[in-house]
Amino acid sequence: MPARANIYPELHVRSPRERAWQLFRQNTLAMIGLWGLGILCALTLLGPWLAPYAPNEQFGEALLLPPSWADEGNVDFFFGTDDLGRDMLSRLVNGARLTFGNAVLVVVLALVVGSAIGVLGGMSRGLKASVLNHLLDTLMSIPSLLLAIIFVAMLGPGLFNTLIAITLALIPQYIRATYNAVSDEMQKEYITAIRLDGANPWRILRFGILPNLSDTLISQTTRALSTAMLDITAVGFLGLGAQPPRPEWGAMLSDAMELVFLAPWTVTLPGLAILLSVLVVNMVGEGLRQAINEVMD
């Protein structure tokens, strides 16, 4: 007996997450940024195994060797070598963990701590909210890099102290962004309806506020990740962060500044690595923000 035709086909209604992903995939720049971010994550996780040489291995016969596409280049050193004969490609690959990987750790920690404080402050009223608001206004008036330098000066130079300092400098930004978003949500009518229905603060937070914080957290995380990478490299460039011979991109720039005319690739390559990393993060973040905004609208 032939199968009965389905005259009432079911309509598949996409979830908000599926619609956001579909909109994100239609954004060419966002997808390019996503692929670049994936490559950056792979370098961060697998850098020591992907690099052709150890980051501090020296080749005395190949000092200041130009990249392989130059006339004097050698295919064994694709991006050339520095003044100590160290392979630039290996140092850049290993430096992704120190710059991008540490920036991710810093942002995750700042996200957890800052968002928790911001949510509690946004749902509170009276003296606590007022004190938090004025304290945040004071901290936000100071640039994050200046705050990081102040904390490093107090804690002492070094990569670990730099990460602590940048985390402390980023937390107020998360508190402010989350505080404003939660305060706006608390003024809306559906929150009043949930409260009149007898919902406790935890239920209001879980079902009324947290689902509407994704746009704020994504945009803030994108900015924070870019800021963290730039601050790590800036503090390293000033000699207060990662110390030589660690292949952190900012420290590599600082070490190679004297060679900018003699061996420009030793300065250009770390600078391009920083530029492209910040660019792909911003492209992915902007694509996610646009997709979420269109779904919510």
Give pLDDT, residue 28: 92
Instruction: Quote the crossing angle between the two packed helices 265-296 and 249-256, to the nearest 10°.
Output: 150
Helix orientation angle between 249-256 and 214-237, rounded to the nearest 10 degrees: 30
* Domains annotated on the chain, with CATH: 16-296 (1.10.3720.10)
CA distances from 18 to 14, 24, 210, 213, 219 (A): 6, 10, 19, 18, 19
Classify residue 262 as exposed, middle or buried by CB count within 10 Å of its CB (0-12, 13-18, 19+): exposed
Question: Residue 264 contacts by C-beta under 8 Å, 6 or more apart in sequence?
Answer: none
pLDDT at position 111, please? 93
Q: What is the pLDDT of residue 134?
A: 67
Query: Are 161 and 155 in contact, with CB atoms under 8 Å apart?
Result: yes
| Contact status, residue 170 vs residue 227, Cβ threshold 8 Å | yes
Residue 1, pLDDT score: 46
**pTM of the entire predicted model:** 0.86
End-to-end Cα spacing for the chain: 48
Per-residue confidence (pLDDT) for residue 191, from 0 to 100:
76
Q: What is the pLDDT of residue 297?
A: 66
Tens place of pLDDT for every residue, the chain, 297 residues?
Answer: 455 555 555 556 677 778 888 888 999 999 999 999 999 999 999 988 999 999 999 998 888 999 998 888 888 899 999 989 999 999 999 999 999 999 999 999 999 998 888 888 777 776 666 677 667 767 777 777 787 888 888 888 888 988 998 998 888 888 888 888 888 888 877 777 877 777 777 777 777 788 788 778 888 898 899 999 999 999 999 888 888 889 999 999 998 888 889 999 999 999 999 999 999 999 998 898 888 888 776
